[in-house]
Amino acid sequence: MSGAQDNTVRVWDAATGAERRVFKGHSSWSDTVAFSPDGRLIVSGFGDGTVRGWDIATGAERRVLKGHSDSVTAVAFSPNSQLIVSGSRDKTVRVWDITGAERRVLEGHLSPVSAVAFSPDGRLIVSGARDSTVRVWDAATGAERRVLEAFLRWDDPVAFSPDGQLIVSGSSDGTARVWDAATGVERCALKGYWGSVKAVAFSPDSRLIVSGSGDETVRVWDAATGAQQHIFILDTVLRYLRFSSCGQHLVTDRGVLRLPSSNCQSSPHIFATKSWVTEDGEQLLYLHPDYQHLFAFLSGNIVVYTDAQGWSQALQLDLSKKSMLEGV
């Protein structure tokens, strides 16, 4: 799934690279999208201040949520798919139900909101903003439960641990901070980056944290102690990352990174550096410097890029022949 400045949201088949849906009908750009956990809906936030929802099966636009007075910068679903939370440059966080009704307006941030997330049980909402705070809210009442001084500046990320006990936030000072979700006490600081922290995620068992930075590294940490477990030194900045369901490799917008201790059988492990698409380090496809900026994302053995005319294209790699099979 991707949002873009061509005023479209597109859904891709991760197995084949085929474009499954193109959602249009709006006059503004989108750079934040989310699937509902039940797989039925997509929501996206737009520069015109709206949040729009589509039916994945039919492509029909189901809802247009209006209330923000500036561009929407972050959206997320509740775990039960019944609520949507949105953050905006208007400094507010808004909670909606899937019928389109606005349930709560969460006010307190002094700068644009850059990240939002629900807790795993759906009872709490966490938001990060450029006022250097992470705020924890009661999803049912809208009450502000905690204010965490997190040194956020720009589009810095936040996430709950799967067990709901911890919150991690990334910041532009090159540090990720781990907080106790119940008390707001800072548990540890994850230090070592030379650039801002762009992405954070917990492992499925909540024991590890992965974070990616503008310094072109990805680091894996012990969530309890803050000790660094591993570092990937890359030549590109990752915009998205998460642990796989087995917790032993990392899924990113540029493919899969295998953890050193991994014995999880998942194939292929393809990753795109700035210059090459690789499989477990073996070079498969050269990305010429004139086209590197056109790279969009990589999923499985599908490379998606945007051509000079703004059209999205997909290339499928035949791993048995280690060559490019076809354009989809």
pLDDT digits (tens, 9 = 90+) for 85-114: 999 999 999 999 999 999 999 999 999 999
Q: Is the pLDDT of residue 323 over 50?
A: no
The C-alpha torsion from 201 through 202 and 203 to 209, rounded to 10°, is: 90
CATH code of the domain occupying 34-265: 2.130.10.10
3-state secondary structure of 12: strand
The residue-averaged pLDDT of 143-147 equals 95
Query: Whole-model pTM?
Result: 0.83
The residue-averaged pLDDT of 11-38 equals 65
DSSP letter (8 states) at residue 40: S
Under a CB-based contact definition with an 8 Å cutoff, are residues 143 and 137 in contact? yes
Give me the residues paired with residue 23 across strands: 9
Q: Is the pLDDT of residue 19 over 50?
A: yes
Q: Percentage of the chain surpassing pLDDT 70? A: 76
Q: Indicate the pLDDT class of residue 128, thresholds 50, 70 and 90.
A: very high
For residue range 275-286, list pLDDT tens digits in order.
888 877 778 777
Domain boundaries, the chain: 34-265, 267-328
Distance CA 75, CA 67 (A): 14
Distance CA 325, CA 16 (A): 12
Under a CB-based contact definition with an 8 Å cutoff, are residues 218 and 253 in contact? no
DSSP letter (8 states) at residue 292: G
Q: Is the pLDDT of residue 208 over 60?
A: yes
Q: Indicate the pLDDT class of residue 328, thresholds 50, 70 and 90.
A: very low
What's the pLDDT score for residue 3?
45
What's the pLDDT score for residue 2?
46
Under a CB-based contact definition with an 8 Å cutoff, are residues 132 and 150 in contact? yes
Under a CB-based contact definition with an 8 Å cutoff, are residues 133 and 149 in contact? yes
What's the pLDDT score for residue 283?
80
Q: Indicate the pLDDT class of residue 327, thresholds 50, 70 and 90.
A: very low
